[in-house]
Structure 1
Amino acid sequence: MTPTLAILFAMQAASPGAGVTVPAPPQKTPAEEELQRRSVAGDVVVTARRRSEQAQNVPIPISVVGVKELDNTGSFNIARLQQLQPTLQFYSTNPRNSSVNIRGLGAPLGLTNDGIEQGVGVYIDQVYLSRVAVATLDFLDVQQIETLRGPQGTLYGKNTVAGAINITSKAPSFTFDGRAEVSVGNLDFKQAKASISGPLTDNIAIRLGLTSTDRRGTIYNVASKSYVNSQDNLGLRTAILWRATDTLNLTLSGDYSRQDPNCCAQIFVRVGSTQRPLNRQYDALSRALNYAPPSRNAFDRLTDLDASLRAKNELGGVSLRGEAQLGSGTLTSVTAFRFWHWLPSNDRDFTGLPITTKSNNPTRQNQYTQEFRYAGEGKSFDYVLGAFGFYQDIHTTGVQQQGAAASRWLINPSSALASDPSVLDGLTANNDIRLKNFSGALFGKLNWKVGDRFTVSPGVRLNYDDKVGSYVSIVRDAQGNLVPYSGGTARQAAQRDAIQPQAFTDETYRAWNVSYDVTGSYKPSRDALLYATYAHSFKSGGLNLNGVPVVNGVVQTQLAQIAPEKVDHLELGAKTQFWDRRVTLNVTGFWTIIHDYQAVVNNSSTSTLRGYLANAGEVRVRGAEADFSIRPSERFNLYVNGAFTDGRYVDFKNAPCPPELSGGSTPTAANPTIGAPGQPGTNSPVVCDISGQWLPGISRVAFSYGGEYNLPAKVLGQDGEAYLGVDANTRSKFSSNASRSIYTDIGGYTLTNVRAGFRTDSGLNVFGWARNLFDAHYYEVLATTPGNTGLIAGNVGDPRTYGITIGKSF
């Protein structure tokens, strides 16, 4: 018997009425009851505070997207979901190198390191997912998605300094129901979704769901004569609900998702001049090797990457959730096991030249979680108490190998070694990265009603983290000879400049932390709520598992640990409804300060320009958000969600420099002058002070807006309604580099999506759709490339896509 079953049955045995052995007649599941409540005008039911409540009564800024909105807008993963929520940001160059941010916080843009954690928690059916790679997969049989903004550590199992994404799947039903949907479109797009649910016995119900998505790539590779950056997703889920007694429900769930596309290519965008000698910059190097990219216009969507591409991503697991009615509350236990397998193949020189022929980091991870929560209530208060345990085991076995063009590309042309391909050809680093990560926490939240209108809600969390990790990089030449950490021949020094060997093992990070928050909320009327929150939170510290600087052959292991981020957060908000709840207007203002922000830094004390993960001084994010919706009749609805966000480094004096201030010589006492930005052959600063600059990934202004209009109609004898819907999102310019660069700002853009169709009360829905209707040209991410050559690569956004969807519910 599992811990969940044993504990819950024991609690049941000790509770009044435990001797009753005949189960009560089947009742609606909690999910079915919530659906019934949501049919009331103006009601959206959420479980953000681990109990069912109307969203407008919860003093937390929440964006809620239901199954209807997900289907209508084609938001089948988080990348699409961000187009509906202006304060949600998702960036990905491949599933492993992905980040989910809220208000620009969560994880530094473009930074992937096994030794640190995300600041935005992703939860599916109350199970915490430690890898953001799940965000690239299709939503699977989802009922509702709640995005909570701001620190949520006193409510959720794993601390979440920026917010949480709470995904609720459709529950098994004791009434037979099902759904099937098929979509086809251009770019050979094919998507199928299906689910079915019903009773197996009077007290056992089951639900099965699957989804499959396939699409041709949007980039043509002239080298392989194939399209890349395709989609190839498969997902399966099942859940069994057992009403063990009239006060105990057990839900056993299992899921598996697989992604195996021809992906992921970052292609040529532009060249920006650096301070490197001119003969070592991209254009000169390309000419020396008689090379030219297939196009210098990224929106020709052409590349010639010569390394194989793969992004196989597998996730899955099982969970057992028990919910027992005990006394005046509910005891919930969630036991879960999850795995993640990542098998990539990349081209990390971003060209058609054999410079870096392999740069892959296949990873295997197992995760175990156990959470207990009790949600109770008294005469003038309610509360949640919880305990959470998390264990994670990660093993990454990376490889980097240089090719025949590496010597000419990477070694100074003034050296005779640059003309000898054998110096770097076949040079190989084999990396072994391991992490064992335990986290345990006790947390609680109290809502104390002081009179009829005012509520005070304090919360606290005690957290312990224990991480043990190692990083070993062994470098050999083509003949299998070890490259030493320091010394050796000139040939070995050149090899070491290309790939630095290093090793450290059994590095540890152990720490206790306390988080707390308090919210005061005032309800002047039935349809208005005012609230203020102060939160002191943290994001766990960790380990540098991408390597640290090596100075004179000595690995700087004192830099292997990263301190936790410390967060102070203030929020003021109002939730209001008017016109018999047909109009909703919610506004929020926030101010967040993070000390010891986890970022890539340079440290002049190491006499090296290699960046590594450490702590910046201070970061500040502040802004205001507004969510407006109106439904004057059953025929028309409109929404506008907007956000102004100002995110800046307040104190970051040892940051890596942008490309226009990189690549040159190191200043000396005899020649201390720093060259002008982008001036070839000049001195570059060892570090840059970027205090006051923008945080990456944040648009100062972002909007999502749209609406739908419908009319009664009859088609082929079927009564129903015809409808036209429009959804759009606009965002202003944002930085796509940790240190803002003149070469990596991404201009603002607007994406417009439309749909038109016919649906019936019997569950038939047929509609045509177009995404990015006006074929806007935009970049999702821009990135600097290794070597300070000035090459900027990037991910171009999807072109216009269109198709038709046919769905039937029963």
Structure 2
Amino acid sequence: MKKTVLLAGAAALAMSVQTFPGYAQEASEETELKQDVIVVSARKKDEGLLEAPVAVSAFSEQAIENLQLESVDDIARFTPGLSFSKAFGRSTERPVIRGQSNVLAGVQFGVESGTAYFIDGIYYSGSIQNLDPNDLQRVEVIKGPQSALYGRNTYAGAINFITKGGTETFEGTGKARIGSNNTKEFSASISGPLFKGLTGRLSFRDYEYGGEYTNAVTNETVGQEATTSIAGVLDWEPISNFDTRLRVSFTEDRDGVLPLFLQSAAENNCMPGYRSLAYWSRSGSTNNNQYYCGVIKPGQVAVNSSSDADGIPNVIPGAPLTATFPFMAATYGLGDGTAFDGILRDMWVANSVSNYRFGDSGWELSLLAGYSKEHNKQGYDSDHSPVNFFLSGPTLEPFFANTTRKDIEDYSIEAQLATPQDQRLRGMLGVYMYDQILYEGDITFADPSGRAADTGKRTVRNEAVFGLVELDFTDRLTATLEGRYAEETKTDRTSTVTPEVSYSKFTPRLTVDYDLTNGGTVYAVLAQGVKPGGINGAIGEAVGMPTYKQEESDNIELGIKTPLPDMGVGNWNLSLAGYYTEATNVQLTSAVAATSGAINSIATNQGAGEIKGIEVDLNGYVNDIVSGGFTYAWTDAKFTEGCDADEWIMSSGGGNFTSPSTQSGVDFTSLFPGSGPASCSIAGRTFPLTSEHQASVFVRLDFRDAGPFGSDFFISSDLTYESSKFVQIHNAAETGDATLLGARFGFETDKWTLAAYGQNITDEDSIVVATRWLQGPYFSTGFSSNTAPTTASRGAPRAFFGSLRRGPQFGAELRVRF
């Protein structure tokens, strides 16, 4: 039966915060008080979206299609409170919920973003950008600390991808998508009954994006992405009180050179001092500014990913072609500077969810198990420039080549026992165990496999007990107390001083909610969150910081979800949440210059902060033609205390920070007008990678029987905005605001959809993210004389690298359903 226009339009809203209604009513049924029919599992049980007393953005299958949600990046555009940054392509992800960020997340072993991924409720530690969107039944973004029920690394929230399973009747889908920059996507699935009580699903996807930026050194296109994946699901219910699901998937990624660019230290424009190009004699620069203040603009990709195309060096400001450096045959070598470029990843994932119900008693036992095995090779020229020189000969590895091989295995198992859910007093008790084993090696020209110089074994082990008690005080008033006690141990064989650390924490969560007579709810939450600590390895040991502590938070949240009264303008749902968070032992990053190889950073605990915010969602429909929605989030994430050594260097004219106890050091501000006052304090600064404002608006028009062959015609458009994000705690360099416009129109029946689409139509070119970096080749006084006083910081001048945003994308797609 053909989908009604009302269903298609309303489901297409999919506009985030806490309501994504999938309206099943015709316009003549607008007198119904409660319009919410989408069911979510955000609290580890099925609840109506407007009933669930938790801030959750839920995207239905129809919404994923209509909003063109191909990755977490797209989901973040329509989820107030979620910001997403991929600094190193599809291998490093930094989801940020409610301002709780970490610059090192996904870069250094053990450093977490504070937002965890789950597939069907099972923890997933890898990159999620390659997950097949056509396999998804729903996506839930759950905001606020979820440690009690979801477990490790849910300090700020959790993103749960619920996949499609088998069906009782034979069904199939197919999709072909062709677009700009050689974008191609072909996918297909089939599902249906196999035997009595057993259904299955098999899906396949082949995706390719050809890249759109040119590497000025090699004259080759960069930024390519390619994924081939296959997934199978078996749903088995042999008896009425037992069911189980097994899902197995294999994904192969083959991505090209990353579209990263360098902004040279020659462009620094603020904070004058000794840590600048002017005090490196071979730089030929008189620029004495140590840092960059303002929006970093997109730059030219120019990296040594293969041989120079024209044989003429691409000179960058601050590294003259005529300068000579000790131990270097040529600063601008014209040969390949990296033994491996891009991303190669093969990954197996297997998940199992089983439920056993004890007769008619209402008691239920659930068992969740997960396994993943990943082989990952990633490489890029980490000085992000044409500078190319070798320390040990070109058969090994050039300086500043970040080329690594990782082999990762994850295991998890979780058991839950739940009491009858129809009782006034009910509860659940669970146990959890998670293990990760990682081996890492350095890829060189002499060892392209990256196995000869294996740096050792690293592990993570997490064990926990968790549960909840829920009590209905009245038919409308309910209180839920959740809690989890977890112990986590990390080991790192590269560390000789501290090869192992352990942390433990009990994280409670109290929710009180009141059901409104119109089907909505009002709720209040008190919760604690914890982000795991870890080991900085040999790099941290060299600077006296071998480990970093857990980050912890106390959180208060108030919210309301409600259908709005009928005001003659259709049916609308409103969700409003306000929250306050106090964070302690905040994990940030400090750059450390190694004696060889790429520049590294370590995690440090730098002070405390407060986060305040509001999240708003309004969505619904005007009539059976017009539907739409609007979201907005305001996030005010500020440090209340903290001391950072780099802040002292930048503000003191380049003086060394010498005393953490007195927060003081060498002060050269009198020599540099415009610098100072010297201070290491970061109080009042905004958390990095955090947008203060986010907004989105979506409108869809549906015209029944207005297309050919009895089809409906639809047209939709969306506009999203995200304010600029600071690169680091200094609150100087930033990414710039981003406003993205998308559109889609086409024809649809219950059997097929033919549509044309546009993404980033107005060519927003603000960068995705930037990272504070060091300017090569000035990383050691042995390579170039430094004329700064010995009491000054003689570290390399600060530069930045950034990741380019995709330009306008246009294309067409055909979907078939049978």
Could you tell me the TM-score, scaled by structure 1's length?
0.80
1:568-583 to 2 correspondence within 5 Å? 568-579=554-565, 582-583=571-572
Which residue of 676, 695, 706 maps to 2:698? 706
Stretches of structure 2 lacking an aligned partner (at least 5 in a row): 1-19, 26-34, 288-294, 306-336, 390-398, 447-451, 593-598, 660-664, 776-795
Given the superposition, is the C-alpha separation of residues 644 and 401 from structure 1 closer, same or farther in structure 2, using an over 3 Å criterion? farther
- Indicate the SS of the match to 1:352: coil
Equivalent residues of 1:96, 1:112 under 8 A apart:
no
Equivalent residues of 2:525, 2:556 under 8 A apart:
yes
Partner of 2:376: 342
Q: Supply the AA of the counterpart residue of 2:122.
A: V
- Indicate the SS of the match to 1:548: helix
Q: Supply the AA of the counterpart residue of 2:436.
A: Q
Q: In 1, Cα distance between the equivalents of 2:694 and 2:671? A: 31
Q: Supply the AA of the counterpart residue of 1:303.
A: A
Instruction: Spell out, residue by residue over 1:303-324, the C-alpha distance to the aligned partner (whole angstroms, 9 max, x if none).
Output: 3444342111232221222111
Given the superposition, is the C-alpha separation of residues 639 and 282 from structure 1 closer, same or farther in structure 2, using an over 3 Å criterion? farther
Instruction: Say if 2:754 is the partner of 1:754.
Output: no
Given the superposition, is the C-alpha separation of residues 741 and 283 from structure 1 closer, same or farther in structure 2, using an over 3 Å criterion? farther
Partner of 1:99: 94
Q: In 2, Cα distance between the equivalents of 1:263 and 1:312? A: 11
- Indicate the SS of the match to 1:81: helix
Q: In 2, Cα distance between the equivalents of 1:128 and 1:775? A: 36
Equivalent residues of 1:137, 1:233 under 8 A apart:
no
Q: In 2, Cα distance between the equivalents of 1:200 and 1:668? A: 70
Q: In 1, Cα distance between the equivalents of 2:507 and 2:443? A: 39
Q: In 2, Cα distance between the equivalents of 1:684 and 1:305? A: 40
1:223-622 to 2 correspondence within 5 Å? 223-269=217-263, 271-273=267-269, 275=273, 276-279=275-278, 284=283, 299=298, 302-306=301-305, 307-308=337-338, 309-326=341-358, 327-355=361-389, 356=399, 358-376=401-419, 377-398=421-442, 432-471=455-494, 504=496, 507-545=499-537, 547-550=539-542, 556=544, 559-579=545-565, 582-601=571-590, 612-622=602-612
- Indicate the SS of the match to 1:510: strand
Which residue of 70, 77, 81 maps to 2:75? 81
Partner of 1:413: none
Given the superposition, is the C-alpha separation of residues 155 and 174 from structure 1 closer, same or farther in structure 2, using an over 3 Å criterion? same
Given the superposition, is the C-alpha separation of residues 231 and 595 from structure 1 closer, same or farther in structure 2, using an over 3 Å criterion? same
Instruction: Spell out, residue by residue over 1:628-686, the C-alpha distance to the aligned partner (whole angstroms, 9 max, x if none).
Output: 102122322111010010011111113533995599453899x9433489989x9997x
Q: In 2, Cα distance between the equivalents of 1:162 and 1:505? A: 31
Partner of 2:449: none
Q: Supply the AA of the counterpart residue of 2:342.
A: R
Partner of 2:114: 119
| More divergent stretch after superposition (612-621 vs 590-599) | 612-621
Instruction: Spell out, residue by residue over 1:699-747, the C-alpha distance to the aligned partner (whole angstroms, 9 max, x if none).
Output: 111101111001123544x21211110111112222022x2343x2122
Aligned length: 694
1:607-686 to 2 correspondence within 5 Å? 612-657=602-647, 661=651, 664=654, 666=656, 672-675=666-669
Equivalent residues of 2:759, 2:808 under 8 A apart:
yes
Instruction: Say if 2:732 is the partner of 1:736.
Output: no
Q: In 2, Cα distance between the equivalents of 1:758 and 1:628? A: 27
Instruction: Spell out, residue by residue over 1:452-511, the C-alpha distance to the aligned partner (whole angstroms, 9 max, x if none).
Output: 11111111111111222222xxxxxxxxxxxxxxxxxxxxxxxxxxxxxxx526622123
Equivalent residues of 1:543, 1:561 under 8 A apart:
yes
Q: In 1, Cα distance between the equivalents of 2:731 and 2:376? A: 31
Equivalent residues of 2:101, 2:690 under 8 A apart:
no
Given the superposition, is the C-alpha separation of residues 524 and 250 from structure 1 closer, same or farther in structure 2, using an over 3 Å criterion? closer
Q: In 1, Cα distance between the equivalents of 2:653 and 2:303? A: 26
Equivalent residues of 2:152, 2:532 under 8 A apart:
no
Equivalent residues of 1:38, 1:45 under 8 A apart:
no
Q: In 2, Cα distance between the equivalents of 1:185 and 1:677? A: 56
Instruction: Spell out, residue by residue over 1:157-178, the C-alpha distance to the aligned partner (whole angstroms, 9 max, x if none).
Output: 4351101111100011121111
Instruction: Spell out, residue by residue over 1:543-588, the C-alpha distance to the aligned partner (whole angstroms, 9 max, x if none).
Output: 113721526xxxx3xx322221121000000111125792100100
- Indicate the SS of the match to 1:80: helix
Equivalent residues of 2:652, 2:666 under 8 A apart:
no
1:752-791 to 2 correspondence within 5 Å? 752-761=741-750, 763-787=751-775, 788-791=796-799
Q: In 1, Cα distance between the equivalents of 2:562 and 2:459? A: 46
1:14-29 to 2 correspondence within 5 Å? none
Partner of 2:811: 803
Partner of 1:211: 205
Q: In 1, Cα distance between the equivalents of 2:278 and 2:132? A: 46
Identity of aligned residues (%): 20
Partner of 2:65: 71
Q: What is the Cα deviation at residue 108 of structure 1?
A: 3.5
Q: In 2, Cα distance between the equivalents of 1:59 and 1:774? A: 38
Equivalent residues of 1:146, 1:166 under 8 A apart:
yes
Q: Supply the AA of the counterpart residue of 1:723.
A: F
Given the superposition, is the C-alpha separation of residues 284 and 185 from structure 1 closer, same or farther in structure 2, using an over 3 Å criterion? same
Partner of 2:36: 42
Q: In 1, Cα distance between the equivalents of 2:571 and 2:481? A: 32
Q: What is the Cα deviation at residue 225 of structure 1?
A: 2.4
Instruction: Spell out, residue by residue over 1:52-93, the C-alpha distance to the aligned partner (whole angstroms, 9 max, x if none).
Output: 110110110110111111122221110121111131111112
Given the superposition, is the C-alpha separation of residues 623 and 400 from structure 1 closer, same or farther in structure 2, using an over 3 Å criterion? farther
Q: What is the Cα deviation at residue 343 of structure 1?
A: 0.1
Higher strand share: 1
Given the superposition, is the C-alpha separation of residues 463 and 673 from structure 1 closer, same or farther in structure 2, using an over 3 Å criterion? closer
- Indicate the SS of the match to 1:365: strand
- Indicate the SS of the match to 1:734: coil
Q: In 2, Cα distance between the equivalents of 1:36 and 1:202? A: 34
Q: In 2, Cα distance between the equivalents of 1:774 and 1:469? A: 47
Q: In 2, Cα distance between the equivalents of 1:632 and 1:527? A: 20
Equivalent residues of 2:649, 2:655 under 8 A apart:
no
Q: In 1, Cα distance between the equivalents of 2:73 and 2:402? A: 25
Equivalent residues of 1:252, 1:319 under 8 A apart:
yes
Partner of 1:485: none
Q: Supply the AA of the counterpart residue of 1:263.
A: V
Q: What is the Cα deviation at residue 223 of structure 1?
A: 2.4
Given the superposition, is the C-alpha separation of residues 766 and 386 from structure 1 closer, same or farther in structure 2, using an over 3 Å criterion? same
Q: Supply the AA of the counterpart residue of 2:816.
A: K
- Indicate the SS of the match to 1:692: coil
Q: Supply the AA of the counterpart residue of 2:471.
A: W
Instruction: Spell out, residue by residue over 1:343-378, the C-alpha distance to the aligned partner (whole angstroms, 9 max, x if none).
Output: 011101111120435222321110100011123325
- Indicate the SS of the match to 1:713: coil
| More divergent stretch after superposition (653-662 vs 64-73) | 653-662
1:152-171 to 2 correspondence within 5 Å? 152-158=146-152, 160-171=154-165
Equivalent residues of 1:310, 1:344 under 8 A apart:
yes
Given the superposition, is the C-alpha separation of residues 285 and 354 from structure 1 closer, same or farther in structure 2, using an over 3 Å criterion? farther
Equivalent residues of 2:297, 2:766 under 8 A apart:
no
